[in-house]
Amino acid sequence: MLDALAHAEQAARTARDAVAEAESAQREADSHLRQAEGAAATAREARAGAEARLAGARERLAETAARLTDATGETPETLAPGAADSEFSALSSQELERRLDEARLTRERLGAVNLRADTEAQELEAERARLAREHDELVEAVARLRKAVDTLSREGRARLLDAFEVVDRHFQTLFSALFGGGRAELALTENDDPLEAGLEIYACPPGKKMETMSLMSGGEQALTATALIFAVFLANPAPVCVLDEVDAPLDDANVDRFCSMLEEMRSMTDTRFLVITHNPVTMSRMDRLFGVTMGERGVSQLVSVNLRAAEAMLAAE
């Protein structure tokens, strides 16, 4: 009896130990189950994230391919062989996208495509060629003009110096004749180039020192200017010469010299001298007089008197 009871108790303890081990195994299995369920949930989340990233990557790839095709006009498959050996093969996708965006912005800044660009380029090239021809023609014309100007300048300087020497020689002779002595000369001043130089008149009437014409008295200036005018006429006579009140600042002695010089000039040239004067000495030395008289009040009459014919008539009587 006692043996059966002891055997039963032993069996009960064994059963309890087995139950405890079973419960421990169950708890461990539950723990593994929860871990497995957590790992499965994590895996499902990772799969969902990967699928989302894959979808996003596919969208970006499609967008990138479309942008690449839009920018280059070629598909990625066509560009792939050449891209493998290009400098872009080592770049990351982000860098490639950045460069693609920059290229697209650059193209957009260029504006719309001009379909007449080729035609306009040909027109502009033709216009450029025409302008180039005109430029060459103008350069050639300028060269010819400069050559002609240089030739004219040389001839002008030579002729001016020759004329200057002739006028100066006549001026010195006429000055001495008008003043009854003394000397005078012309000088080119302020520039070595005769075409750019100024003209200065130096005169020395009898009993005075050499000085410029501006320092002479009014009568002396008038006689000196008359000598210069007559010198120019001797170098290049003109058909007509009008002298307006030239003798106004002169005294009677100088007026007589002026009239004598005028008569000499008339004999040396074919010039007709028209003298406007109020000096009776000058009028008495002229060949013909023209004047205005008023025979009746308010009625003017032009009068012409031939003094040489009058003198001949008096001599005949």
pLDDT in tens, 164-205: 888 888 888 888 888 888 888 888 888 878 778 888 888 888
This prediction has a pTM of 0.51
Burial (CB count within 10 angstroms: exposed 0-12, middle 13-18, buried 19+), residue 120: exposed
Burial (CB count within 10 angstroms: exposed 0-12, middle 13-18, buried 19+), residue 224: buried
Please give the angle made by the CA atoms of 172, 175 and 178, to the nearest 5 degrees: 150
Kind and range of the H or E run holding 26: helix 2-72
Q: Which of 299, 300, 254, 255 is nearest to 275 (CA)?
A: 255
pLDDT for position 287: 83
Domain ranges of the chain: 152-240
pLDDT tens per residue across span 115-156:
787 888 888 899 999 999 999 999 999 999 999 988 888 888
- Position 44, amino acid: R
Map residue 227 onto helix, strand or coil.
helix
Kind and range of the H or E run holding 121: helix 117-179
pLDDT for position 292: 83
pLDDT for position 84: 58
Quote the CA–CA distance of 165 and 179 in Å, as a whole number. 21
- Residue ranges of the chain with pLDDT lower than 70? 1-2, 68, 71-74, 76-77, 79-93, 113, 314-317
Burial 244-272 (b: 16+ CB within 10 A, else e): eebbeebeeebbebbbebbeebeeebebe
Question: Does residue 288 contact residue 307 with C-beta atoms inside 8 Å?
Answer: yes
The CB-based long-range contact list for 249-255 (8 Å cut-off, 24+ gap) reads 249/218, 249/219, 249/221, 249/222, 250/219, 250/222, 250/223, 250/279, 251/219, 252/281, 254/178, 254/219, 254/223, 255/279, 255/281, 255/282
pLDDT for position 143: 92
Question: Does residue 187 contact residue 194 with C-beta atoms inside 8 Å?
Answer: no
Count the neighbouring beta carbons within 10 Å of the beta carbon of residue 232: 17
Give helix 76-83 / helix 2-72 axis angle, nearest 10°: 90
Quote the CA–CA distance of 226 and 157 in Å, as a whole number. 26
- Give the residue ranges of DSSP H helices in 73-92: 76-83
In the CATH hierarchy, which fold is given to the domain comprising 152-240? Rossmann fold (3.40.50)
pLDDT for position 87: 61
Residue 181, token pair as written in the block: 């002595």
Quote the CA–CA distance of 209 and 294 in Å, as a whole number. 49
Kind and range of the H or E run holding 41: helix 2-72
Strand order across the beta sheet in which 183-189 lies: 183-189, 198-204, 211-212
